[in-house]
Amino acid sequence: MSALILIVLGLVFLLLSGLWLIIPALYGVPWVPTRDKRIRKALQIAKLKPGETLYDLGAGDGRVLILAAREFGATAVGVEVGPIQCLVGWLRIWFGGSRQKVRLRCGNFYKANIREADVVFIYLTSAQISRLQDKLAEEMRPGARIVSIAADFPNWKPNEVDRESLIFLYAMPPLSGPST
């Protein structure tokens, strides 16, 4: 009987692990978390203010959303494709006391409406950023900001760059020109 329980628990673990890794990878966005210190620095560079709305595209476990709400007073909305990451994020938001200022949607951020965003936070691959560029240009209003960690937009010139932390800031409409 105990061997059967161990087998079932092992299979459940494998299933959850597979969902954690495989679903995001199928969309080309592997789950790679970043440190709170780097997130905080990115939100400072974006000059996120109380009452503004931040969108995190590829929100993972919700750490950016929670930090934006708690430390910056922002309303935070995340979009995440991984069902297990969504579950972990919802639990972190629920038990972390951030429910009033944070929403996490399980879905494809390429299909999400981001028009109400004052700031969009992204930590994606160069390929994903290139694919997202037209959507951001079309949907974001003038004066809204994009803060990107680790990858820059190929045809936009950033308004600010932190080379040490590899953080790029863009204000909409973006400046044309080669990225740095």
Q: What is the CATH number of the domain that holds 153?
A: 3.40.50.150
The whole-model pTM stands at: 0.84
pLDDT digits (tens, 9 = 90+) for 57-71: 999 999 999 999 999
CA distance 172 to 160: 13
Which pLDDT score is estimated for 99? Answer: 84
> Could you give the 3-state DSSP secondary structure of residue 121?
strand
Query: C-alpha angle with apex 131: 79 to 37, nearest 5 degrees?
Result: 50
Domain that holds residue 133: 2-176
pLDDT given at position 101: 95
Question: For the chain, how many structural domains are there in total?
Answer: 1
What does the pLDDT read at residue 83?
A: 87
| Phi and psi angles of residue 55, each rounded to the nearest 5 degrees, phi first | -110, 135
Q: pLDDT tens, 125-160?
A: 888 898 999 999 999 999 999 999 999 998 899 999
C-alpha span between 142 and 119 (Å, rounded): 11
